[in-house]
């Protein structure tokens, strides 16, 4: 059983290779999708959203990953106040069959549109996010 209690050694600024090296050291084997998802969920529950985000960004590229990982990635972005990125992830979830995210897509689309209107014609929010 791997010991992931040394969370401090997992830095949110790590590159992709460093993430997999960290898991290799902890597991004494190459990381599998489940390993990244498990640790991402633990980081998320601790409120370490940047660390969870880093794990999930790698997780969603791996064979054996599930839509729940992309869903959690969307929530990480939301908790980091990256609404536009969260919306992109939730839209991908819905497109791939995770229909539970429809409500989030609608709410975030409205929120982004309202923000864009408040900011006026100089808004930095890409229009394709709300279409």
The answer on 130 and 92 residing in a single domain is yes
Question: pLDDT value at position 2?
Answer: 54
Q: Could you give the number of structural domains in the chain?
A: 2
Helix (H) / strand (E) containing 55: helix 49-59
Statement to judge: residues 62 and 44 lie in one domain: yes
* CATH code, domain carrying 37: 1.25.40
Shared domain for 74 and 118, answered yes or no, is: no
Say yes or no: 61 and 116 in one domain: no
Split at pLDDT 50, 70, 90, the class of 9 is confident
What's the domain range around 47?
A: 1-80
61 and 71 part of one domain: yes
Exposure on the CB side of residue 6, measured as CA atoms within 13 A: 8
How far apart, in whole angstroms, are the C-alpha atoms of residue 31 and residue 50?
A: 19
Is residue 45 domain-shared with residue 89, that is, in the same domain? no
- pLDDT tens digits, residue range 71-122? 999 999 999 999 999 999 999 999 999 999 999 999 999 999 999 999 876 6
Q: To the nearest whole percent, how much of the chain has pLDDT over 70?
A: 87
């Amino acid at each position: 059983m791997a010991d992931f209690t040394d969370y401090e050694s997992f830095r949110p600024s790590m590159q992709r290779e460093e993430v997999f090296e960290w898991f290799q050291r902890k597991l004494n084997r190459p990381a599998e999708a489940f390993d990244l998802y498990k640790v991402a969920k633990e980081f998320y529950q601790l409120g370490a959203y940047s660390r969870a985000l880093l794990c999930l960004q790698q997780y969603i590229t791996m064979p054996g990953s599930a839509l729940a990982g992309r869903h959690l990635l969307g929530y990480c972005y939301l908790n980091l106040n990256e609404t536009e990125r969260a919306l992109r992830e939730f839209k991908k979830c819905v497109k791939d069959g995770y229909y539970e995210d429809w409500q989030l897509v609608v709410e975030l689309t409205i929120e982004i549109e309202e923000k864009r209107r408040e900011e006026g014609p100089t808004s930095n929010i890409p229009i394709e996010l709300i279409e």
